Structure 1
Amino acid sequence: MKAKDRTRGGNAAADRRTGAALLLVLGVLLGACGPAPARTEPPTAGEEPFWQAEFDGPAATRPPEEDWTTQTGNRDAEGWGNNELQYYTDDPANSALDGEGHLVISARPAPAGSALPCYTQEFCPWTSARLTTEGKAALRHGRVEVRAKTPTGTGLLPAIWMLGDNGAEWPGQGEIDICEVVGGEPRTVYGTAHGPAYSNENGIGDSLTLAADASQAFHTYAVDKRPRRVTWSVDGEPYFTLTPSQLPSPRDWVFEQDMHLLLDVAVGGDWPGPPDTSTPSPATMTVDYVRFYGEGRA
């Protein structure tokens, strides 16, 4: 539930830890008075995804451009709306195939002598990568699955998320955060929705606690995006369902549209706070596959 940038949304003035606390309280309240998480609807036997990324290819090669766009920068994006410290690059050092069927997104200290313009200070001390399927593939109704191993550690915020293709300014654009693992909470997976009247720290969602740090094993992070209902799950276990009845007035439901996927590893910023000497370097998100089932655009 990051505050969002202009490509990810609006301004980032909220206190992230306060927002996280509000999110958990809201999740408890919704669990008490709202619907229980719906049964997830995994693909039926033999169903094929209408779009998928399996990341087969030689080591150190970039993910295919027909499927992915790599966004770059920091200062011009105003710290990606969250006062983040990483400069997103298209360098294979930050995003490349590993030759074993995975995409690896790596956040690492900026090379010595680099001068990568940063929003909160003169130069960004970290580099990372942010990939999107915008204009290439999107899900309208169905299920998105991402099997990944996410980094954990102080100052890190890996994210698997979706933005709407309706052309509206955020938060009217709509956002579904499939998985965020923040800073010093290595076993907590956050799932959140953002839209009109429920954005930034007012995003609506819940969290799930893993048995071990998210960096220790692959997990399947999924969202079932059905008409008037969105359900989050990890490894097939649903933990939150959102319906229009749970939205604040005027109950603007902005998820009946195509939505594209984004993958990134952010460093620093409003929610996780700054990295320190304990922060892994490099900090890597390893993605085994991305699959869209149901209906959408590819």
Structure 2
Amino acid sequence: MRISANSLSITLLGCCCLLPANSSAQEAVLDAKPASLTYSQLVWSDEFEGEELDRSKWSIEVNAFGGGNQELQIYTDRQENVRVEDGNLVIEARNDKAAVSGTEREYSSGRVRTKKRGDWKYGRIDVRAKVPAGKGIWSAIWMLPTDEKYGGWAASGEIDIMEMRGQDPNIVLGTLHYGDNWPRNTHSGDQYKLEAGSFADDFHVFSIVWKPGQIDWLIDGKRYQTQTKWSTAGADFPAPFDQEFHLLLNVAVGGNFLGSPDATTEFPRQMQVDYVRVYQ
């Protein structure tokens, strides 16, 4: 959740605050068979095989004030922050005092989205990515409603496919936000913890399978969480997750969700995305 310091306007960065997952329940789910591939027809994809970002599929946010949540970065469309390189989309956070519209901030980074270029109601979304470690580095793969039919955040919902706090690089979070306009909103979700290593070591496939009244979260094809209960003010279930949503990818720096970088945080830090595939 992003709240402007000067107004009540709200933008978002997949903010979530979760209780620790029940490890025994999680292990039981992880031992289960992979979730059914209900959706098998590829309807949208980007393999990032060209020399630059495909602007028919993505837009790049330029934002001199970051993303809210007391985050420290400035979002730019510079090659230093967003580019296609060696078959991957690279979103790079830097400590380089970049400036946009006369505003300079200590850190810069990138955020891309598919709004009005890729918008879906139900389906399976797969994102194969390697995400950066480091205190104060916040990577996110998430979705927002294309049309806020039920009201402002979070009445119209938010789906966080994956978030990772860089100081906890072996844990990722999957979360839903819903309920009502802020501050009457709520959220629910769970976490996935690697038994060894970190998500910064190698690529993993982060997925949701989104059906009417049910959303599953998967890591490398294994389901670790299912949600079937949510709500929104003024509409019946399965609202708000019965409308078209679009995808966002970004790396934030600092903020009240995870704290600021420190002397141990090395820059630049990269999220590398091998592909995005959407099936219906």
Q: Give the shorter-chain TM-score range.
A: 0.7 to 0.9
TM-score, normalisation: structure 1: 0.79
1:40 aligns with 2:35: yes
Which of residues 244, 262, 265 is equivalent to 1:276? 262
Contact 2:76 2:100 (C-alpha < 8 Å) held by counterparts? no
- SS of the residue 2:67 aligns to: helix
* Distance across 2 between alignment mates of 1:64 and 1:11: 25
- Matched with 2:152 is 169
* Residues 1:51 and 2:51 aligned together: no
Deviation at 1:86, TM superposition (A): 0.6
Q: Alpha-carbon deviation of 1:166?
A: 2.7
Change in CA separation of 1:273 and 1:166 when aligned onto 2, cut-off 3 Å: same
For residues 22-55 of structure 1, what are the alpha-carbon distances to aligned partners after superposition, in whole Å with 9 as ceiling and x for unaligned? x225x549x69xx9999523367xx441000110
* DSSP-derived class of the 1:181 partner: strand
2:241 aligned partner, one-letter code: F
Number of the residue aligned with 1:97? 84
| CA deviations over 1:67-123 (Å, ceiling 9, x no partner) | 000011132xxx42211111000001111111x211111001124xx44579xxx74
Q: 1:131 maps to which residue?
A: 112
Gaps of 5+ in 2: none
Aligned length: 264
What is the letter of the counterpart of residue 72 of structure 1?
Answer: V
**Higher helix proportion:** 1
- Tell whether the 8 Å contact from 1:38 to 1:231 is kept in structure 2 after alignment: no
Distance 1:161 1:81 in 2: 16
Cα distance, 1:139 vs structure 2: 2.0
- Give the partner amino acid of 1:293: Y
The structural deviation recorded for 1:165 is: 1.7
Query: Are 1:260 and 2:260 counterparts?
Result: no
Q: Which runs of 4+ in 1 moved over 2 A?
A: 3-6, 9-12, 35-39, 41-44, 114-118, 197-202, 246-253
- Would you say 1:178 and 2:171 are equivalent positions? no
Corresponding residue of 2:10: 10
Give distance in 1, aligned partners of 2:3 and 2:246.
16
Equivalent position to 1:222, from 207, 212, 237: 207
Q: Report how far residue 233 of structure 1 moved.
A: 0.9
Residues 179, 233 of structure 2: 8 Å contact kept: no
Q: CA RMSD in A?
A: 3.1
Task: Name 1:292's counterpart in structure 2.
Answer: 278
Gaps of 5+ in 1: none
Does 1:239 find its partner at 2:234? no
Q: Secondary structure at the match of 2:250?
A: strand
Structure 2 length normalisation: TM-score?
Answer: 0.84
Alpha-carbon distance change, 215 to 198 in structure 1, aligned in 2, over 3 angstroms: farther
| Residue of structure 1 equivalent to 2:72 | 85
Counterparts in 2 of 1:74 and 1:38: CA distance versus 1, 3 Å: farther
1:10 aligned partner, one-letter code: I
> Where is the strand percentage greater, Structure 1 or Structure 2?
2
